[in-house]
Structure 1
Amino acid sequence: MASHFLLGFVDILREALKIFHKNGKLMASFTLLTLSVHSLLFLFDIFSMKPLLSKWITDQSLVLFARPNTPKYANLLVAAHKDIRILVGTEWIFLVISSFISFFFSSATILASATTHSGKNFSLKDLFSTAASSFKRPFLTLLYLTLFGVGYIFLALVLLPLPLAMSFQSPFALKVFLILLSVSAAALYDYLAVVWTLALAVSVLEESYGIEALGKAAKIVKGMEMHGFLVNLVMTILSFIILLGFKFLKFKDFAAVEVIIGLLILNSLWLVKMFGLMAYTVLYYQCKKTHGEEVELQGDLEYSKIPNFQFIPESIP
């Protein structure tokens, strides 16, 4: 039983890797474009924030050397507060735009994986056109997933553990408790995210969204939850290894080197994320097959349906 389960999980990863070979031109172009867009966003954020941050640091330095209770001190203090508001506001606007673009590419990754896995030949233009036309469904599903995710984090890391953490007298015992809590919360999140991520795939590939997509995902994944959990676990471990690996590498403290390292980390994490979404697309197909549902192509999107059966009317003798 255990060997069968592991073979099923390995098969998901193997099929996800095969997606790159089935339509190498599309997947290579799409991957390169995805990494390029996110790299440009990263560079734009750094070089646009640098002048604002430098001005704020300069104003803060001038405040330290100005005499209190003078008009010059008051003006510098107002300017420093204005700078920090502009800095924070600009960063929030960039974060919203970056998150929107990242989610669009995540939806496009699922669509590219699905069309490639099913053998349908898509061009890069067709892929983005289809992803844009169907973007509303996964975006509405994302709103529900965000609420669930925020609620889980608040419940698991703030509301429930806070009273327990206050009862520890030893700093060492408190540290051990927080580590165990973080690991347990991350593992449980990976398990809950199976239905959540599969609901996103359902929203991209079917005519459903929101609670309906979550319900369909929970229905079709029954019996294969642990496959999705292992996919999430592997992606989490890979991401952790990437971050930890770059942290322990010793580099000279140059701004250019730090930017390059940041780009390497960003692109590595995005490759892991894309592979995880490809694996979930394969899992979606396997869940459909397990429940006796076919996945058919209609136009530019894929949808699934229960196979039709012919019924004999009772009126016929």
Structure 2
Amino acid sequence: MDTEQEELQFLGFFGILRESYNIVNSWRKIFSQVMLALILPLSFIYLAQIQIIQLLIAKISTNEETLERTPEGSRSYDSISSLISSEWTEIILFKIGYLLFFLILALLSTSAVVYTIACIYTGKDLTFGKVMSVVPKVWKRLMVTFLCNFAIVFAYNVVAVVIAVLVIIILQPGASVGGVLLFFYLIVYSIGLFYINMIWQLASVVSVLEESYGLNAMAKSRSLIKGKMGVCVAIFFVLGLCLVGVEAVFKILVVLAYEKGVGYRVGLGIGCLSLMSILMLFALVAQTIIYFVCKSYHHENIDKSALANHLEEYLGEYVPLRSKDVQMEHFEV
């Protein structure tokens, strides 16, 4: 990285984005290979499932319209009703398969990008083959961290739903005050969910570069983010907004644009796929840079030689980085 680790703490919103861009631009070859091997397929299945789900739902809607015109109790009615049930089952199974495949590729992509930047940081020789050989080993730790995050999000949603139901029951649905309270409650809920997601994304970097993973990585991430909360929120929010924007464009101008020609939709779809792949890569690089920025802010200096040695051990049996190596020595500013 161009910026010295003591100076990383002073990077703000634009500084982190600029540092992320400089790294990707300086190492275009290796990042292009990672993107083509992992991130492009990840983006493809994400956008493709939107199109497939839309086609399946349109098919169900057609059958439901036919069902409404069919005499109830007839053989045709029972046949169409059974067909609709099987189509909903098909959607659910497809969604489950998609989520599993998406999760695997997402964690593999995170492993590859974080490891790549760590190698760049320590000045190690870096090849695409080395990155891909390390990825499956680091992926297991990321999975544990994800499962812990999933449990936290699930519990958070259960509590949120219980509170929302209680508010509706107490204040009644028709009460104007209740509607206003539920609106603000939804905002608070969204902020909390965003915060948990932000902690998880930084915890993914911690899981790769430190001995901590799972709940310990989540706790470490929460501690690291203190003091840099504003910058972290701004970067994660803006990058997330960009990804949502690309998804919205794909839905409106590709998936739902039935009146447009095939060539137009295919061309725009390829454009959305390319842009989403670039944004995903950039987001993963940025969240890794945020890790180093937060470490620097807390006056902790990463021992590059120790980190390099452990990165070399990744090529054999996976050995997690020890606290005394990556938890870093404090330095005076």
Rg (Cα) greater in structure? 1
Which residue of the partner structure matches residue 84 of structure 1?
88
Matched AA of 1:201: V
Which of 292, 300, 303 is the equivalent residue of 1:285? 292
Matched AA of 2:285: M
Give the TM-score normalised by structure 1.
0.75
Counterparts of residues 241-256 of structure 1 (less than 5 Å): 241-242=245-246, 253-254=259-260, 256=262
Say if 1:9 and 1:227, in contact at 8 Å, map to a contact too.
yes
Deviation at 1:202, TM superposition (A): 1.1
Say if 1:113 and 1:281, in contact at 8 Å, map to a contact too.
yes
Deviation at 1:17, TM superposition (A): 1.5
Q: Distance in 2 between matches of 1:237 and 1:6?
A: 25
Say if 1:109 and 1:277, in contact at 8 Å, map to a contact too.
yes
Counterparts of residues 9-158 of structure 1 (less than 5 Å): 9-42=13-46, 45=49, 56=60, 60=64, 63-156=67-160, 158=161
Taking every aligned residue pair, what percent have the same amino acid on both sides? 21
Q: Distance in 2 between matches of 1:143 and 1:47?
A: 28
Matched AA of 1:27: F
Aligned length: 305
The SS at the match of 1:223 is coil
Q: Cα–Cα, structure 1 residues 177 and 116, in superposed 2: closer, same or farther, change >3 Å?
A: farther
Q: Cα–Cα, structure 1 residues 76 and 280, in superposed 2: closer, same or farther, change >3 Å?
A: closer
Say if 1:113 and 1:278, in contact at 8 Å, map to a contact too.
yes
Deviation at 1:55, TM superposition (A): 6.4
Which residue of the partner structure matches residue 233 of structure 1?
237
Matched AA of 1:203: S
Q: Distance in 1 between matches of 2:143 and 2:179?
A: 38
Deviation at 1:82, TM superposition (A): 2.6
Q: Distance in 2 between matches of 1:54 and 1:40?
A: 21
Q: Cα–Cα, structure 1 residues 129 and 261, in superposed 2: closer, same or farther, change >3 Å?
A: same
Q: Cα–Cα, structure 1 residues 23 and 50, in superposed 2: closer, same or farther, change >3 Å?
A: same
RMSD: 3.9
Q: Cα–Cα, structure 1 residues 160 and 259, in superposed 2: closer, same or farther, change >3 Å?
A: farther
Q: Distance in 1 between matches of 2:134 and 2:167?
A: 49
Deviation at 1:20, TM superposition (A): 0.7
Q: Cα–Cα, structure 1 residues 230 and 6, in superposed 2: closer, same or farther, change >3 Å?
A: farther
Q: Distance in 2 between matches of 1:170 and 1:291?
A: 54
Q: Cα–Cα, structure 1 residues 252 and 30, in superposed 2: closer, same or farther, change >3 Å?
A: same
Deviation at 1:145, TM superposition (A): 0.8
Matched AA of 2:235: V
Residues 71-80 or 146-155, more deviating: 71-80
Matched AA of 2:162: L
Q: Distance in 2 between matches of 1:269 and 1:293?
A: 32
Which residue of the partner structure matches residue 204 of structure 2?
200
Q: Report which structure shows greater RCO (CA 8 Å, sep ≥6).
A: 2
Q: Specify every segment of 5 or more residues in structure 2 that has no aligned partner in the other structure, as ranges.
A: 1-7, 315-319
Q: Distance in 2 between matches of 1:106 and 1:39?
A: 13
Q: Distance in 1 between matches of 2:252 and 2:91?
A: 30
Structure 2 residue 324 is matched with structure 1 residue 306: yes
Cα-to-partner distance string for 1:69-96 (whole Å, 9 max, x where unaligned)? 3344433433332333234323322332
Say if 2:43 and 2:276, in contact at 8 Å, map to a contact too.
no
Deviation at 1:178, TM superposition (A): 4.9
